[in-house]
Amino acid sequence: MKIGIVAAMSLELEYVLNHLQNVEITSYKKAQFYRGRYGNEELILLACGIGKTNAGVYTQVLIDYFEPDAVINIGIAGGLSSHLKPLEVILGTSFSHHDVRVDQMLHFFPFIDSFLADEKLIKKFAPHFDEKHQGKIVSGEGFINEESEKLRIIETFNPLLVDMETSSMAHCCLINEVPFISLRGISDLADASAEVSYKANEQRAADKVGEKLLKVLKK
């Protein structure tokens, strides 16, 4: 199986990249793609850059150039649920843009307010997560570190996590009919302490996601 692994930043790919065999690097469209093997799987790794535009554009480039059978997003995110703590890993089962009005998504293309993770991929990954670590991820063009914005997002979407890329990747995969799922580690709690927590936790949270991904792929 050929799987595209997309993260925003290189540090989010490091754990997986360090466990690949026979890695080949391809430079294309101002990005580097790392192609290698992990067990029976062929993986293509890409750091797309921060933000929804980069995420959407480079997910499309990945699909067009490498034709993966599935796309998996990995990386870090802000936790929004009171029962979540930094360094926990979440399986994203649905995705939405928190910086686009819900009625706009429903009344204009793509005529849905959430993008769903692929059912077959959920069946593969869900047994490795308890129920409280599975749920919705929302994305928008901005780092969330204000309580008022955090509460708005929670009240509108009731998600577990907030980040800046996943919904655009899911949106792109929906249009291309490519199976998609996301695994994100919690770096911060999207509050006034977010910037300090993020810097302290980003690498450890990213590595925990990479470790979880490879554990599932191995089985």
State the distance between the two ends of the chain, measured CA to CA, in whole angstroms: 14
- Residue 40 Cα to chain centre, angstroms: 23
Q: Answer yes or no: 12 catalytic.
A: yes
Catalytic option among 12, 118, 163, 202: 12
Query: Per the structure block, which two tokens stand in for 52?
Result: 């929804």
- Distance (Å, rounded) from C-alpha 49 to C-alpha 27? 15
Whether the link from the prior residue into 86 is cis, omega within 30° of 0, is: no
Query: Per the structure block, which two tokens stand in for 105?
Result: 């998504």
Question: 78 and 190 in contact (C-beta within 8 Å)?
Answer: yes
- Residue 61 Cα to chain centre, angstroms: 17
Where helices occur in the chain by DSSP H, the ranges are 14-17, 52-66, 102-107, 119-125, 147-157, 166-176, 194-218
Query: Per the structure block, which two tokens stand in for 213?
Result: 């991904």
* Residue 205 CB contacts under 8 Å (≥ 6 apart), including other chains: 76, 86, 87, 185, 186, 187
Catalytic option among 42, 118, 163, 188: 188
21-28 and 89-97 strand pairing: unpaired
Query: Per the structure block, which two tokens stand in for 106?
Result: 């429903």
Q: What are the catalytic residues?
A: 12, 188
